[in-house]
Chain A
Amino acid sequence: MSDFLKILENEVQLAALAFLALVYTVRLGWIFRFKTRRDRTAAVGNERAGAGYSLMNVAMPWAMESTRKRPGFYAQFVVFHIGVAAAIAGTLIIPYAPGLFEIRPVVILFQAVVAAAFVVGLVRLVRRLTNPVLRRISSPDDYFSLVLLIVWFAAAVAALPNRPEKGEWPLIGYFGLTAFFLIYVPFSKICHYLYYPFTRFYLGRSLGHRGALPPKGTKGRKTRRAGEDAA
């Protein structure tokens, strides 16, 4: 393996990761600068249960009409994000646990998962380009982030067997894109996962306090009965 690839897989990745962590830290500091208001009402429900339920929303496609009615959309979401996780894992396995990718079925499994995400990425791109609503709301960042991910998935599929002796370009492409990603992500829509816990927590806490979430009938939900609304 060339020195260039070695540095790209290690030092460059770590530097990019450090940059990402730095921007995220600044970003979190920025979010915490905004104030929250204390709810002065007596609770009917349970804030923690509401927040917990809301945070778990990602794994409960039945919880929202929008995902319940469009199971295909949800399935694509799952495949896409598992693909992202597998492609990220690949960038850590190759430099730090290369033995794992010497097991052929493991490589094939990772490739299959990332390839499926690649296909979903293309479907999403076509939808964004053809659906009038998505076209109207999409920003250049929305398109660029998606295209970047699609290209990155393709690079991952090519690089995952980790055979620098057969040519370093797939690995250079994969790790080069990953480094670029780590620097670009904090400024793009891709960092939505940083906000998810916040939006979900605040919404769930507020609706949990009122007893609107989790919906009545959900197991483990503790609420006061009507008339027990003691202040």
Chain B
Amino acid sequence: MKREKPSSSGVVDSPLDARTQVKAREDGLPSVAEGRLRTYEPGDNRGRFLDLLAKRISRPLAVSMTACVHCGLCAESCHYFLARPDDPTMTPVWKADQIRKIFKRHVDWTGRIAPWWVKAGSVDGDEDLNRLKNIVFGTCSACRRCTYNCPMGVDTGLLVRFTRGLLTELGIVPEGVFNVSRDQWETGNQMAVTEEDYLETLVWMRDELRTELGTDDVDIPVDKPDCDVLYTINPREIKFDPRSIAHAAKIFHLAGESWTMPKWGWDQTNFGLFSGDDRLGAYVARNVYEAAERLRAKKIVISECGHGYRSTRWEGYTWAGYDQTRPTESVVVTVKRYLEEGRISVDPSRNTEPVTFHDSCNIARSGDLVEEPREVLQRVCADFREMFPNRRENFCCTGGGGLLSMAEYRPLRLEVGKIKADQLRATGARLVCTMCHNCVDGLNDVIKHYKLALRVVQVLELVSNALVLPASGERTKQSS
């Protein structure tokens, strides 16, 4: 492979750290032993990579490989390039060209006629594959902002995910990607939360809520059959933000919802989206769908999570080969309906600080929800203000594409977070609201790094603050 000048970010030179992969093999982890989770083995990875590329490529991806005219118009849609305007390797087109040239050389027959003429190229070995790993994992959050800005309709975000998937099959992945994939394969959730921890946290939140509302009527049911709603969450809620579960439970209780959480199949996040591993994607999504089936729930409701929403609502059914048979929606849509139907009442004067909204790319660009969160926020906040650009043109929080789990790319991620920081600062808001747990962490990193006077909140927290309790409940609460 003809070497191009390495990116001055230094990211492309990050070595492959396969220590935890070796350990997983030595420990005989079932996911590794059964071949579901692939580990790195030095050898003919080049051949396997090329085989996989030819075998797996779909028509929409093949045309995205061939259609680029090198106009460069996508460059300024990417926060990486905007923050590093002197570095062409940060442009979407350059990143996509790193896989495109291999496609041209090995799959596209027109590129084989005179490879140098169309800049087709190959990979020499694992060192080149490791460079490719650093480009697709380390310099792109797969946010698809460039996709929406390409006149040809080239889907660079998807090309990046596809390439990640090929490398994941070879174990040529950042250590963090391997670790989270391993946990999700082994435990069914990406933070290796045990069933005991999960159930204890739910009981803890139930008790807190009972104290807050002054009634024992409120519950967080688990594995209750025949409910209208099966509520699924992000493991981060159990580990770091259990209050978000209490907010949801409070809202469900006041809305008189018939709901439950499953004992198994509760993780709606899906690292398969980030690693490009459709098998993992299918496994995790199927757990959720089968939980709904088992409990005969009428609807799946997904807590606030960008990639979880995209995976469970959209991609998961296709990965799992599972025809959607029941409505699957974001909890923000559920709450919006409660407000519209008068099932809950809110008082916006309880949220007086200026609030802005960060659209998660996975929800706004790769999903369908743009106006719904705004409609909720307009009802529960006294001072809502847009950030610019917004909706499908919003910039990524910088933590997308699983980047929060990849420590080696953190310095570059924070550097390009300047774009998000400028955007946030210009709003003059004190709170930035997002409907994604991943964005919460991404935004918090940016806020800390750029010393912004902002706090990150989620939609349910603001709704919960604004809830007007029924008279008796309010009395009990005041007297307690």
- Residues of chain A at the chain B interface (Cβ within 8 Å): 27, 30-32, 34-42, 44-45, 54, 57-58, 64-67, 69-70, 73, 77, 131-142, 144, 186-187, 189, 192, 195-196, 198-200, 202-204, 206, 210-212, 215-216, 223, 226-227, 229-231
Contact = CB atoms under 8 A, between A and B. Distances in A.
Interface of B: 4, 57-64, 66-70, 72-77, 81, 86, 88-89, 91, 93-94, 97, 109-110, 113, 116-119, 147-155, 313-314, 317-318, 321-329, 333-334, 336-337, 364-368, 370-372, 389, 391-393
Contact of A37 (B81, B314, B318): B318
Contact of A189 (B64, B69, B73, B325): B69
Contacts of B336: 226-227
B69 A229 contact: no
Given A133-B72, A187-B110, A141 B63 contact: no
Q: List 5 A-B pairs, minimum CB-CB distance, nearest first.
A: A199-B153, A195-B67, A211-B368, A139-B119, A202-B60
B63 A198 contact: yes
Given A133-B75, A141-B118, A42 B324 contact: yes
A131 B86 CA distance: 11
A24 to B, nearest CB: 12
Contact of A36 (B60, B91, B313, B367): B60
A6 to B, nearest CB: 32
A21 to B, nearest CB: 16
B110 A66 contact: no
Contacts of A40: 317-318, 321-324
A136 B91 CA distance: 10
Contacts of B89: 136
B63 A31 contact: yes
Given A137-B93, A198-B59, A198-B63, A229 B327 contact: yes
Given A133-B93, A136-B4, A226-B337, 4 more contacts: A66-B150, A140-B118, A227-B333, A227-B336
Nearest to B90: A133
A226 B86 CA distance: 44
B318 A186 contact: no
A67 B76 CA distance: 11
B290 to A, nearest CB: 15
Given A65-B77, A66-B77, A138-B70, A229 B151 contact: no
A73 B73 contact: yes
A199 B67 contact: yes
A139 to B, nearest CB: 4
Given A136-B88, A137-B91, A229 B74 contact: no
29 contacts: A34-B59, A34-B62, A40-B321, A41-B318, A64-B149, A66-B150, A67-B73, A132-B88, A133-B75, A133-B93, A137-B93, A187-B110, A187-B113, A192-B68, A198-B59, A198-B63, A198-B67, A199-B63, A199-B64, A202-B60, A210-B366, A212-B392, A215-B370, A216-B371, A226-B337, A226-B372, A227-B336, A231-B324, A231-B326
Contacts of B60: 36, 198-199, 202-203, 206
Contacts of B76: 66, 69
A118 B74 CA distance: 25
A198 B69 CA distance: 14
